[in-house]
């Protein structure tokens, strides 16, 4: 029987990072993963690298270049003619990016001497797992002093909407389109729905998003949600809130989607449907019930603050546990668990995990919203700076959006930073660092920011907390 110090189940961003860090700390480490790539061969990287974060960003980048060539270059005095669209080439570029990164993880495993075991793992009593090899073959039992579960998540489905990968797709299948649908319905207007909707709208689709919730981007700060909804409407995305999808039925003339809202029953016909109603933990075949692994009321693996489960020396990280389903959150949990197994006292601050929606402009935030602070009866003050007053934003031709800082009324400590702005995914890192070091709004306002830059908007928002904005 093979024996390891650490055995990781799952090779997504949580799992592969946990495995690499464990190996760096001198642990004999193995990683079991069941993913099979489009070529039929085992591949590392999980959902994020193969059919999630990375390919979706590749599509977003390509679609933005195409949109800018059609609609924005003229204002810069650049005349381009005969611009054409090659969707298969975009898809091929996306696949190349994915392949490069998954092979990169494989190289990192080799460099750090992590044993990669392609197959599906099932928990057994006594810190053992049973592995069914990818492609068939006899099962084998592996023992480990410590087990880390990082099996990730899968798309949620809804009743009467059958994924057939011809007319109706989940978020994974939507990344392999070879042509632009004339009319596209996306069920769900959350992060995934907005990003995919942005891609296909830029490429020429008529996009309708059907969202069950009555409020838009409920997890974001209300002011950011309101501003972003206006911007998406200006871009031509048709977002319909408070809708309940009853069915989606393929036919000769397309897919008929039936839904309800406060005005009654409706039906619309489209070329394709994407179901983007969120994700759920992937625990199928893990054998959780058989070994007594405790789940919470929502079906996630129950863990303590250090990601320990109720089973001795068994941990769980990433999308299978509480908290946001974000790749970077899972990766840092992987680092924390690996270091704690090695005897270090590493902790993870869940209050400073940034969120990003990769639309154009990007949406990002970290910390508390106004609504959360009001519910907790905590007094605060805010500072806001609109991008319309930013010299760099004007030069870029992207002036919609704002940066908002929320600080404690008495201590001035930054409690939350929220923004819709170009490069918000990069800009939010400054806010995360500031909050990790318990900075005040005044601290941020006294840091020199380069001019002209989008980061000046963060500086001005910090000044605005104290009524000291210089450029508005």
Locate the domains of the chain by residue range.
2-154+280-348, 168-277, 352-465
Q: What is the mean pLDDT of residues 181-210?
A: 97
**Annotation says 449 is catalytic:** no
**Least confident segment among 4-13, 130-139, 316-325:** 130-139
Q: Do domains 2-154+280-348 and 168-277 have the same CATH topology?
A: yes
The predicted structure's pLDDT at residue 81: 86
The 10s digit of each residue's pLDDT in 401-420 is 999 999 999 999 999 999 99
Q: What is the mean pLDDT of residues 351-360?
A: 97
CATH 3.30.390.30 fits 352-465, yes or no: yes
Q: What is the mean pLDDT of residues 46-63?
A: 96
- Pick the catalytic residue: 451, 459, 466, 471? 451
Q: Exposure pattern of 181-210 as b/e (b: 16+ CB <10 Å)?
A: beebbbbbbbbbbbbbbbbbbbbbbbbbbb
With 90 as the cut, is the pLDDT of residue 1 above it? no
CA distance 148 to 342: 13
The 10s digit of each residue's pLDDT in 265-316 is 999 999 999 999 999 999 999 999 999 999 999 999 999 999 999 999 999 9
The predicted structure's pLDDT at residue 136: 84
With 90 as the cut, is the pLDDT of residue 28 above it? yes
The 10s digit of each residue's pLDDT in 414-471 is 999 999 999 999 999 999 999 999 999 999 999 999 999 999 999 999 999 999 999 9
CATH 3.50.50.60 fits 168-277, yes or no: yes
- The pTM of this model reads 0.96
The fold adopted by the segment(s) 2-154+280-348 is FAD/NAD(P)-binding domain (3.50.50)
């Amino acid at each position: 029987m093979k024996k390891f110090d650490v055995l990781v189940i799952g090779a997504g961003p949580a799992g592969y990072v946990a495995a690499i860090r464990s190996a760096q700390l001198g642990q004999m480490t193995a990683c079991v993963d069941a993913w099979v790539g489009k070529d039929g061969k085992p591949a590392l990287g999980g959902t994020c690298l193969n059919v999630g974060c990375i390919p979706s960003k590749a599509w977003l980048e390509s679609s933005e270049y195409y949109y800018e060539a059609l609609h924005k270059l003229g204002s810069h005095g650049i005349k381009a003619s005969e611009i054409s669209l090659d969707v298969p080439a975009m898809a091929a570029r996306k696949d190349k990016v994915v392949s490069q990164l998954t092979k990169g993880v494989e190289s990192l495993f080799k460099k750090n001497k992590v044993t990669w075991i392609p197959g599906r793992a099932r928990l057994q009593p006594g810190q053992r797992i049973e592995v069914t090899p990818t492609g068939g073959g006899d099962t084998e039992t592996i023992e480990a002093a410590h087990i880390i579960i990082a099996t990730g998540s899968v798309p949620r489905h809804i009743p009467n909407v059958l994924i057939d990968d011809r007319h109706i797709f989940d978020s994974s299948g939507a990344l392999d389109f070879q042509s632009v649908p004339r009319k596209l319905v996306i069920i769900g207007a959350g992060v995934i729905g907005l990003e995919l909707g942005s891609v296909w709208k830029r490429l020429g689709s008529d996009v309708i998003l059907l969202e069950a919730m009555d409020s838009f981007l409920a997890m974001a700060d209300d002011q950011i949600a309101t501003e972003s909804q206006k911007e998406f409407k200006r871009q031509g995305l048709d977002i319909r809130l408070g809708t309940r999808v009853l069915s989606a039925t393929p036919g000769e003339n397309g897919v008929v989607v039936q839904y309800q809202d406060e005005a009654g029953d409706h039906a619309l016909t489209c070329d394709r449907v994407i179901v983007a109603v969120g994700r759920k933990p992937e625990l199928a075949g893990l054998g959780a019930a058989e070994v007594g692994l405790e789940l919470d009321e929502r079906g996630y693996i129950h863990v303590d603050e250090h990601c320990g489960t109720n089973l001795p020396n068994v941990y769980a990280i990433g999308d299978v546990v509480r908290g946001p389903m974000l790749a970077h959150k899972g990766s840092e949990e992987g680092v924390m668990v690996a270091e704690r197994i090695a005897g270090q006292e590493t902790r993870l601050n869940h209050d400073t995990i940034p969120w990003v929606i990769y639309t154009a402009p990007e949406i990002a935030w970290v910390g508390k919203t106004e609504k959360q602070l009001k519910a907790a009866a905590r007094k605060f003050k805010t500072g806001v700076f609109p991008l319309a007053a930013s010299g760099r934003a004007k030069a870029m031709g992207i002036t919609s959006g704002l940066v908002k800082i929320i600080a404690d009324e008495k201590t001035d400590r930054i409690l939350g930073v929220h923004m819709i702005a170009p490069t918000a995914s990069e800009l939010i890192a400054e806010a995360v660092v500031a909050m990790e070091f318990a900075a005040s709004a005044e601290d941020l306002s006294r840091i020199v920011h380069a001019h002209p830059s989008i980061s000046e908007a963060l500086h001005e928002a910090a000044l605005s907390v104290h009524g000291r904005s210089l450029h508005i």
